[in-house]
A and B are shown apart, each in its own frame.
Chain A
Amino acid sequence: MEKVVEKIFQSQFALVDLREILRKTKPVFNLSEEQKQQVVDIIKVVRESMDLVEKVLVK
């Protein structure tokens, strides 16, 4: 269960980083290539984390 908790926090923290990208690019949200890559990386972390959470808690 430690892994599940870890992944939940990792996801939440990644989403905070996503909020920070919004804060830096508001109100037009023209993301740089670097920021776009960060978004991709964040989404990957969240997806993979939630896959594991689903596997352990639901399946």
Chain B
Amino acid sequence: MSIEAKIAGDIEVRTREELFINIQPIQVAGRLTPEAMKALIAYGDGYSVCDWCRKPFRLDCIKKPPIDKFHKEIAEFLGMDVARAVPGARRGFQAVANTLVEKGDTVVMSSLAHYTEFLAVEAAGGIVKEIPPNEKNIVTGEATAEKIEKVKAETGKLPKLIMIDHFDYSLGNEHDVYGIGKVAKEYDIPFLYNGAYTVGVMPVDGKKIGADFIVGSGHKSFASPAPSGILATTKEWAERVFRKSSMKGDLTGRVFEAKEVEMLGCTLMGANMIAMMASFPAIKERVKHWDEEIKKINYFLEEFLRIEGNKVVSEMPRKHTLTKVDTIESFHKIAKTHKRKGWFLSDELKKRKIVGMFFGATKTWKLNTYGLTWNQIEYLTKAFIEIAEKYNIPHTLAKKVEKERKL
């Protein structure tokens, strides 16, 4: 099926989600709900959410549509006191780093941290010190405490902030956020929980974790358009990170006392804000079914590993749908002599209406099965087996889907 419809000029219609199984590692949980798509249709105009903006003229205070209510509910949903929608998780990191970190201050974070965490600290003038993972590629509370001690010994000061990804972008491994939360309390260092891969797909309770800040990504895990995200915090920290402007114009005497400095006034305006809100009821429901998503990825990998030479680089069994695999001893061997080189695997998958793996990769690469139905998981599984058979890569017979699994 080729699509001739164009949006304007050379801008094509994106049909990947209607025609293909998409296993792209960072796209799948940001796929919109139908409700979010409807929000884009109805609220696409620039300042669409501002029709009923009244004093104090701030986004999170707008009652119609109920943006104020969403802000209260999302804070509660995350077990925190106050929340703000932000244009992407990175703006959440930035707001916290700008508030807490001064020039020369140290921030400790995982050596598997996302680059935007580095940049947020750098922009604030801070210095990043990385916590090494253990032999299983897990960052623990113990390793965090060791790093804190090391920083203290080297600089004479404690780090100003701990930033930890619950699940990292590289392997999708679960890091010991509960243990790290305890360590943060023991040292009295604020703890930023990076939930870019959790907020919106699995239950997250900031109080249980012991987080001072929770950052989520709308476009990664909250079925929302980019850029969108969430920054949630406690009452105590809210006063600092959401501090209001105290500046006064020297000529005009103008003041902007209601505006929050780190938010630069209003944050996530228009269709993106309403799309997040529109997806929220579905999000509240879908986080209850995270265990089903985990069953699907583990089932898929169980079958994927029947292909001789296939390996999983991420921790097993999987606790997240984002997974790194290694096909050096299977598909990469074919790539070495295939006329299309590494592209042969992408080609074969595309022929079977599967897209999203890094184009041309046959060594190590990432996939994500979040949101696929059991039928689609089964289809995906069979596709890999079929490709293995086509190229004479040995495999054990794929087992039948168990009857109790919902098809």
Most chain-A CB neighbours within 10 Å: which of B18, B38, B352, B375?
Answer: B18
Partner of B42, one of A9, A20, A26, A28: A9
What residues of B have a CB within 8 angstroms of the CB of A25 in the complex? 375
Residues of B within 8 A of A17 (CB): 34
Considering the complex, which residues of chain A in the window 8-46 have a beta carbon less than 8 Å from any beta carbon of chain B? Answer: 9, 12-13, 16-17, 19-20, 22-28, 30
Using A27-B353, A27-B379 as known contacts, say yes or no to A16 and B41 having CB atoms under 8 A apart.
yes
Instruction: Report yes or no: B38 in contact with A26, Cβ–Cβ below 8 A.
Output: no
Instruction: Report 26 cross-chain contacts, Cβ distance below 8 Å, ordered by A residue.
Output: A9-B41, A9-B42, A12-B41, A13-B34, A13-B38, A16-B34, A16-B37, A16-B38, A16-B41, A17-B34, A20-B34, A22-B18, A23-B17, A24-B373, A25-B375, A26-B17, A26-B18, A26-B19, A26-B20, A26-B21, A26-B353, A27-B20, A27-B21, A27-B379, A28-B375, A30-B375
- Whether, in the assembled complex, B246 has its beta carbon less than 8 Å from a beta carbon of chain A, the answer is no
A-B contact count (CB 8 A): 40
Please indicate the chain B residues that have their CB under 8 angstroms from the CB of A19 in the complex.
18, 34, 37
The residue among A12, A16, A17, A22 with the most chain B CB atoms within 10 A of its own CB is A16
Select B379's contact among A23, A24, A28, beta carbons within 8 Å: A28
Is B376 part of the contact surface with A, judged by Cβ < 8 Å? yes
Chain A residues whose C-beta falls within 8 Å of the C-beta of B353 in the assembled complex? 26-27
| B371, closest chain A residue (CB) | A23
- B-side binding surface: helix, strand, loop or mixed? helix
A41 to B373, CA, bound (A): 23
CA distance A19 to B373 in the complex (A): 16
Number of interface residues of A (CB under 8 A): 15
Shortest beta-carbon distance from A30 to chain B in Å: 8
Bound complex: CA A26 to CA B353 (Å): 9
Task: Report the minimum CB–CB distance from A14 to chain B (whole Å).
Answer: 10
Q: A26-B376, A27-B379 are in contact. Are A13 and B20 (CB under 8 A)?
A: no
Within 8 A of A (CB), among B1-46: 17-21, 31, 34, 37-38, 41-42
Assembled-state Cα–Cα distance A22/B3 (Å): 15
The residue of chain B having its C-beta at the shortest distance from the C-beta of A22 within the complex is: B18
**Within the complex, which residue of A13, A23, A28 is in contact with B18, where a contact is CB–CB below 8 Å?**
A23
Q: Per DSSP, are chain A's interface residues mostly helix, strand or loop, or mixed?
A: helix
Residues on B with beta carbons closer than 8 Å to the beta carbon of A13: 34, 38, 41
Residues on B with C-beta less than 8 A from A16 are 34, 37-38, 41
Q: Interface extent on B, as a size class?
A: 10 to 19
Assembly CA distance A3 to B337 (angstroms): 64
Q: Nearest 8 pairs between A and B by C-beta?
A: A27-B353, A22-B18, A20-B34, A16-B37, A16-B34, A13-B38, A12-B41, A23-B17
Q: Given the complex, which residues of A lie within 8 Å of B373, measured CB to CB?
A: 24
Write the nearest CB–CB distance from A46 to chain B, whole angstroms.
14
Closest to B376 in A: A26
- With a CB–CB cut-off of 8 A, which chain B residues contact A12? 38, 41
> Contacts of B37 on A, CB cut-off 8 Å?
16, 19
Whether B19 contacts A27 by the Cβ 8 Å rule is yes
- Separation of A28 and B20 alpha carbons in the complex (Å): 9
- Which of chain A's residues have a CB closer than 8 A to the CB of B18? 19, 22-23, 26
Tell me the bound Cα distance from A24 to B354 in angstroms. 14
**In whole Å, how far is B45's beta carbon from the nearest beta carbon of chain A?**
14
Q: How far is the CA of A25 from the CA of B352 in the complex (A)?
A: 14
- Chain B's closest residue to A8 (CB) is B41
Q: Which residue of chain A lies nearest to B42 when distances are taken between CB atoms in the complex?
A: A9
Q: How far is the CB of A42 from chain B (nearest CB, A)?
A: 11
**Known pairs A9-B42, A16-B38 / 8 extra A-B pairs, C-beta < 8 Å:** A13-B41, A19-B37, A23-B31, A26-B19, A26-B20, A26-B21, A26-B353, A27-B352
Provide the bound-state CA to CA distance between A30 and B373, in Å.
13
**Residue in A closest to B35 when the chains form the complex, CB atoms:** A16
Chain B min CB distance to A17 (Å): 6
Give A2 Cβ to nearest chain B Cβ, in Å.
15
**Shortest distance between the CB of A28 and any CB in chain B (Å):** 7
Residue-wise, chain B 350-376 has the 8 Å CB interface mask toward A (1 for contact) of: 001110000000000000000001011
Bits for A44-57, please: 1 = Cβ < 8 Å to B, else 0. Answer: 00000000000000
